[in-house]
Structure 1
Amino acid sequence: MSQSPEGGFGIYVHWPFCAAKCPYCDFNSHVRHQPVDQERFVAAFDRELGHFAELTKGRTVQSIFMGGGTPSLMEPRTVERILDRISGLWSIDDNVEISMEANPSSVEAERFKGYRAAGVNRVSLGVQSLHDRDLKLLGRLHDVDTALRAIETARSTFPRLSFDLIYARPDQTVEAWQAELERAISLAADHLSLYQLTIEEGTPFFNLYNAGKLQVPDPELGAELYELTQAVTAAHGLPAYEVSNHAKPGAECRHNLVYWRYGDYVGVGPGAHGRIQVGANKLATAIERYPETWLENVETHGHGMVENVGLSEEEQGDEYLLMGLRLVEGIDVARYEALAHRKIDPRRLAALLEHGMVEELEGNRLRATPDGFAVLDAVVADLAA
């Protein structure tokens, strides 16, 4: 009998290749100057998916997400074979969400039609900015006109569309961001992902920042930009449902909700992570990051896992807090207590309530307030202590 765990069940497929590495990006993405052997890679995905299917028998897949890297560098036939393999291994929900990330520079109408024919029903475009100067700064390969054409192509091809923008960019003012955001909303279908630029260790931006050659808005301006983002999106009918994600009611990304509601998800492909319930154990899985090493490991062992660790009750509770409090809907306190086998310290909770960091909702739910979102890591640490 098919079943899904609380929070849902999804499949994440990581395609690790990009045409160029963006200077702010710390994701597991790799540039190859020779064509990737997609036949060999899809055969490896087939094997790794089969390995995880053995561990998650009887589940119903509610979402599939192809991330990267740049999954839109895959041939439509590659996508079709991966999706066919998934549907042959698991039961598929009638309303399954099948998302793919795409860069505007790799959008071709015929290729998009191929993805749609393969089963993709939602695309997420990495637009990142609607200003050419900032696109160059961010190392993007597309310009604004290319992005606008990609949005138009995606809207005419897929039932659902989202695109990403990065704000709190160097020299960005509140007024400029408001104008850009309102333009983005006019282009959006029903979902936007809006991220503040963060300087991640190990990236070229990190080195430039430390050398004093890259200036980003100070925390006070960053907070002002964040508050403006919440107000403008809400006023236009795309309120935040998560710290950085905005949607019309009912158009939330179902796959990301699996993560944030602490469901189960299989992660396949180089560098992918997963959380799966196997018997009485909640397992944290991690896959070899380097693509060619992953390929050899899968061909030799049937999978590329380098980590497969059972999570303690405390760790599960902490992860549920960390993920669930990102959501405007918050967490189910009873579920937290069942996972962690402990209650939230009433004194710590009372202090957070008093300082307006969290609020209690009907149905024994708890969520962060707007002030709490601004210091979410500290709120989570307090509740988990």
Structure 2
Amino acid sequence: MAQPSSWPRAAYLHIPFCRHHCGYCNFTVVAGRDDLVGDFLRAVELELQSLESPREVDTLYFGGGTPTHLPAAQLEQLCELAKRWHPLADGYEWTVEANPGDLDVERIEVLAQQGVNRVSLGVQSLNNGKLAKLERDHTAEDVRRVIAQLEEAGIGVSIDLIFAAPGETLVQWQADVEAALSFAPNHLSVYGLTYEQGTTFWNRRLRGDLSEVEEESQREMYLWSIDRLAAEGILQYEVSNFARPGFRSRHNQVYWAAKEYYAAGPGAARYVDGARETNHRSTTAYLKRVLAGESPVAEREVLDEVQRNRERIVLGLRRNEGINRENYLAATGRSLDEVAGVELAKFIELGLLADDGNAVRLTREGLLVSDSIWPELL
């Protein structure tokens, strides 16, 4: 029987396990609790059973945490479970996040045999001194080994990098990017280090143990990255994401297009039937609830028309092509100016947005301060 066209075509699974909790990380993560892996697999299976029937998807994404921290046998079990409830359509994209320190031949073999065709690799840096500052548990040599093994297995690789690590200079960042480019990547994600409340980096900064790279240096690093990657044919298509033609993350584009998607696991957020839901962020609370037959959902919000229309603007503006006026009208039944004309005009006047009559998009200056724009548009 054909699947209803209204069902989401993307799914996300959150795997919270890590070998080590990095000081800057604010994701739903547990380190040193591998004793919970069995319960986790049982809980995810129970949560997926709430779908009642398999839901075919075009994109599947395993995030974390570190999905590849699972032992090979459990990783294989999770892959089989995911495919049972989210069968993959022809031409699918299946991404698994991985850390260079966890990935080995056995796990890569599991990924390849299961059909994973894309790995998002948490490289963060190819400078061992910087990796130590970021509290990463891998080395530049681990990165080189893993990328070679993934390529040999026929799995595409996206590289994550972090700029503005404590004490980092523009010259050091440039060397890091050049080292990453030596792998001739098809996709790169570039993130400025942020100090999130609740992390050890946040507390260390408050104590004066860590100092944030000055704002002007961060701007230089980010803008240089845009130009340098473009010179290699790796074009920016979203605030933090760069790809060669044909290699954009299809899964993440589902989010930015304001389309619906399934999700399971602790802290996982889904958007189904007009409702945004987020599971409990505590892994132990999530396990306790699901294994007791209770809902794991901690937050639920049904967006009204105004909220949906405004959220579509914010998500769309993250992309370099911005928001096409005709497409927006077709999707919402409202014009862009009707929904947020006053706010958009303000940011255009400030030079943070550009409007060519067909589309509204972030300017180069707007890219630098995009996070300060979103609250006013929502």
Aligned mates of 2:263, 2:189 — CA distance in 1: 22
Aligned mates of 1:240, 1:61 — CA distance in 2: 26
Q: Is the 8 A contact 1:47 1:302 kept in 2?
A: no
Aligned to 1:374: 368
Q: What SS does the aligned partner of 2:189 have?
A: strand
Q: Is the 8 A contact 1:242 1:326 kept in 2?
A: yes
Aligned mates of 2:301, 2:180 — CA distance in 1: 42
1:304-327 CA-partner distances (Å, limit 9, x unpaired): 222233112222223222222111
TM-score by length of 2: 0.91
Q: What SS does the aligned partner of 1:301 have?
A: coil
Aligned mates of 1:269, 1:205 — CA distance in 2: 26
TM-score by length of 1: 0.89
Aligned to 1:70: 66
Q: How does 1:1-385 map to 2 (within 5 A)?
A: 1-2=2-3, 9-33=9-33, 35-51=34-50, 53-54=51-52, 60-277=56-273, 282-301=274-293, 303-333=295-325, 336=328, 339=332, 343-360=338-355, 364-384=358-378
Q: What SS does the aligned partner of 2:314 have?
A: helix
Question: What is the deviation of 1:49?
Answer: 1.2
Q: What SS does the aligned partner of 1:172 have?
A: coil
Structure 2 residue runs without a partner (length 5+) = none
Structure 1 residue runs without a partner (length 5+) = none
CA shift in 2, pair 1:239/1:85, >3 Å: same
Q: Is the 8 A contact 2:72 2:106 kept in 1?
A: no
1:211 is aligned with what amino acid? R
CA shift in 2, pair 1:299/1:240, >3 Å: same
1:161-193 CA-partner distances (Å, limit 9, x unpaired): 112111111222212211221121121430111
* RMSD over equivalenced CA pairs, Å: 2.4
Aligned mates of 2:143, 2:26 — CA distance in 1: 23
Aligned mates of 1:313, 1:358 — CA distance in 2: 24
1:148-169 CA-partner distances (Å, limit 9, x unpaired): 2122212222431112111111
2:70 is aligned with what amino acid? M
Q: Is the 8 A contact 1:15 1:66 kept in 2?
A: yes
1:128-148 CA-partner distances (Å, limit 9, x unpaired): 111111111111111111222
1:370 is aligned with what amino acid? R
CA shift in 2, pair 1:21/1:95, >3 Å: same
Aligned mates of 2:239, 2:340 — CA distance in 1: 25
Q: Is the 8 A contact 1:190 1:238 kept in 2?
A: yes
Question: What is the deviation of 1:90?
Answer: 4.4
Aligned mates of 1:283, 1:244 — CA distance in 2: 26
CA shift in 2, pair 1:283/1:334, >3 Å: farther
Aligned mates of 1:80, 1:244 — CA distance in 2: 31
CA shift in 2, pair 1:31/1:381, >3 Å: closer
Aligned mates of 2:282, 2:376 — CA distance in 1: 36
Question: What is the deviation of 1:303?
Answer: 4.2
Aligned mates of 1:259, 1:184 — CA distance in 2: 27
Q: What SS does the aligned partner of 1:183 have?
A: helix
